[in-house]
Every structure is written in structure tokens, then in C-alpha cells.
Structure 1
């Protein structure tokens, strides 16, 4: 299938303000981009790109006084298949994990493994290691947390989510991946596009989505504690330890968000 993704994001700035963006599609999906990925600004300012320590594509620019609007428009080819379900996927002993996975077992800005380890073992210590343990964690978080945009808060951590029992997609991901890390399963945060493809639209405003991945049987598997079901049409933009590593925009100075519009829609092949 073909998926049209894009955005229009506007910020106001009183003075020229340096920025770092993470608005590009992840390099792992480069082969699926039809044509070229388009990211422009109004007014037009130069953007230089680099790869961060996680392999994400980041842009550097200086937003002019008065503000800036980012426009994105890309066509992506997707398999149309839902997230993989592999009950046989095994949890590897920590001493057999690749070196690069160890980072995703440790505490990070929003994922306090030191504060939730006892809770995790009391809830999931009886489960079979591997796929079953991950799914049990996802099921618990899905039921424990109540979704609501009014519950969003930039400072909310996994411990806060557990204690408050509410949040948005990033909060579901933070709590679930923290529990996974506590149980010895490498887990990393993901952000990207995920439209209402293959489901009945719920009428909510389109947004970027947060989910997570776990490392089992030598590869990363997609997990989604908010929806607790396999979904179609995820387009990855970035991965990291938690949401702090994959902020869509970071400004080095005061900026106000004025407009935020995102699309992620399946289109007919003949219309492409």
C-alpha cells in the first residue's frame, strides 16, 4: 500500500532561535520512500542534517524572528501487514546480549528502572520469559492507564504514569518499556506516523505516535501498550532511550507552538 504522510508545524519566536529537528523518516525506511522526502520551511532557511548517536536524522537551523513553519510531504510504500506476532520469540540472557543493547536495559530520563524494579518483579516475576512476558506487561499497562490528551505533561515519567494511572501514547510506552527493562528485556522508545489504517477512525485529531520495541531472539519487535493490538502502517521517524531522545523539535530559546497538523493516510495506488 501507499501512505501519504506529512505535517505543518508553526512556531512563533520573538528573536532568531537555533533549533534541532527530528522530522525526517528514519533511515530504516529510506527504501520505502517513493520519490524524495520533502521538508521545507516558510520563510525558507537553510537546514543542515546529521545523524545522532541513535542513528536518527536530525536537522539544524536558525528560526528567524517572527517564527517559522515546517512543511513535510512524503509518499511511503508499506507492506500493509500488521505488526509481527511471534509467540516463540525468546528473551536472551543478559550476558548474551549484543553490547549495543545494554543501553536499553538501563534507567533514562523518563524511565526510572531503579524505582520500578520491585513493582515489575511483583507483577511479572511469575511470567515465562520472552514474548509472553512482554505481552503480559503490555496488557497490564493497557488496562492500568487511562488515555486522555488532558493528561499529557512533558515532565511525566514512567513512575508518574504508574502512580497516576493516566497519560497519552508516550506515557503508555514509557511505563511498558520500563517494566520490560526491569525484567531484563532491552526496550527502546519509538516515534513516528501511525494513521487510522485498518481500523475504524475514532474521530480524534491526527498526531505523531509513540510506541516501543523490545529485543527478543536477536531482533527488535514492535509493541504498542496504548492500543494493545497489531496495527498497520507505522512509519518510523526515530528511536531512543525514551521521548527525550526523539523530540520532534528542540529550540534553544523561547518559542511558542502556533499550529500542529499531521497526516498519515492510505491512498489508492492509481491516485499516486
Structure 2
């Protein structure tokens, strides 16, 4: 499906504030950017670069006062995600070099502390895709989705203990559990068509059967029509806005609609 996606964010800055934005989707596996607009008001100089994961980042300095960012794109995205229960576990010696970093513990995904829980959940499943799907299903069925129950510092271990969170927390827990089984897993942020309530979204991808597969623990069934903005080890790598001085988020709107 061709999708109109975008967001509009209004900030109030107390002083000149250096900021890194990560709001531009890029063409790649599973999506094609057909048209794009990126508006800053008031306009300021922009320096763009690609980070270590290939994400497009924009460096700006926000002036004091009100500042608005509006991004929009028309994206051709697949209606379905690939599902392959027979995708096998890839032994660590056979993993590509670029994938190895995604089996290590990271700031919000303490894989070294969740091995027992991962075995309890997926120990009887066939190694590979079936284990990841068992973990995804367990999170979807056992973790309550509720706003205001976590914050920017909440980690996978805390979510496993509290059994409540939002998409970011569901994703961190899924990543940590999969990595504890030596399955490379990475975080994805972006847009999901017909997400309720509409917002920017997070899910994870696991490397099994020699490729990445999509898993979303917030959804009961596999769903396509996703637009990826960024990949990383966890939320520390995929922050859509990183500020280096005091600044308030006043308002944010997100939309995903059929194009045309």
C-alpha cells in the first residue's frame, strides 16, 4: 500500500539548543520513499549525516522560542510482513560481522539477566523463528499495555518484573529475551498503519534463517503497512529527538493514511 506518513512537533526552547533529529525514513528493504517534505519553522541550517546503522540524522540548532518540525512522506510499503516458522537458528560463528553487535546486552536490553525467563518461555520451541514467535506471543499475552507506567529509563528487566509498559518496553523485553538465546535482535521505530491510538511506534526484528524478520509484541497478528524510520540496538540508538539543553515538547501529531 502507498501510505501518507508524517509527524508535526512543536517545541519551546529556553535558549539556543543543539538538537539531533532522526525523522527521515529512507528507501531500502521493504519500503520505497516516493515523495518527501521536511519543513522547519523558523528555518535554520541543517547538516545531515548517516549514523553507524545507516539512519538519516539531521543536526540543527533551535533558536530560543517556539520551533516547529513537520515531516511527511509518501511511502510504498508491503501490505504483509514475511512469516517463516521454519527459519532456522544461525549459530554465532556463522553470523555476519555486522549482525554480531545485536546479540550483546545493551543499555535497555539486559540480555545477560533474562536467560532463565527466555528458556521458560521458549525452551521447548524449535531454535530460530519459533523461539522468537514464542517470546513475542508471551509478551503480548502477559505484559499489560498502559500509558504512563514507564519512563525513558525503564529497562527490559524492569518491564519483566512489573509486567506493564508501552511499545518501547514491549520491544526492549523482546530484544533482551531473544538475545539471551543468542538470536540477534534489533529495535525498529517508525509508523504503523491503523495503529490505535496513532503515534510513532516501536517493534523488533530478529535475525534467523540468514535474514531479518519483523515481530511486534503489541499486536495479536502479523501486520504489514509499516514504515521504518530507524534501526538500533535499543532506544538509545533510535531517539527521534536528542537535545543538548533545556527544551519543552509542546505538541506532537502523527498520521498514517492511504495515499491518494
The interval holding the TM-score normalised by the smaller chain is over 0.9
Secondary structure at the counterpart of residue 15 of structure 1: coil
1:255 to 235, 247, 250: 247
Query: Which residue number in structure 1 is paired with residue 65 of structure 2?
Result: 66
Residues of 1 paired with 2:91 and 2:176: CA distance? 18
Query: Which residue number in structure 2 is paired with residue 21 of structure 1?
Result: 21
Residues of 1 paired with 2:30 and 2:114: CA distance? 37
Secondary structure at the counterpart of residue 256 of structure 1: strand
Query: Which residue number in structure 2 is paired with residue 118 of structure 1?
Result: 116
Residues of 2 paired with 1:252 and 1:28: CA distance? 30
Secondary structure at the counterpart of residue 243 of structure 1: coil
1:209 aligns with 2:209: no
**1:1-272 paired onto structure 2 within 5 Å:** 1-28=1-28, 32-35=32-35, 37-79=36-78, 81-196=79-194, 202=196, 204=197, 206-267=198-259, 271=260
Q: Is the 8 A contact 1:27 1:56 kept in 2?
A: no
Residues of 1 paired with 2:61 and 2:68: CA distance? 12
Task: List per-residue Cα deviations over 1:40-66 (Å, max 9, x = no partner).
Answer: 111111111000011100000000001
Structure 1 residue 67 displacement after superposition: 3.2
Residues of 2 paired with 1:82 and 1:113: CA distance? 29
| Higher strand fraction (1 or 2) | 2
TM-score using structure 2 length: 0.96
Q: Is the 8 A contact 1:111 1:242 kept in 2?
A: yes
Structure 1 residue 183 displacement after superposition: 0.7
Residues of 2 paired with 1:167 and 1:135: CA distance? 19
The alignment of Structure 1 onto Structure 2 pairs a total of residues equal to 260
Q: Which contiguous aligned blocks of 4+ residues in structure 1 show a shift greater than 6 angstroms?
A: none
TM-score using structure 1 length: 0.92
Q: Is the 8 A contact 2:121 2:134 kept in 1?
A: no
Q: List gaps (5 residues or longer) in structure 1.
A: none
| Higher helix fraction (1 or 2) | 1
Residues of 1 paired with 2:89 and 2:30: CA distance? 29
Secondary structure at the counterpart of residue 139 of structure 1: helix
Structure 1 residue 123 displacement after superposition: 3.0
Q: List gaps (5 residues or longer) in structure 2.
A: none
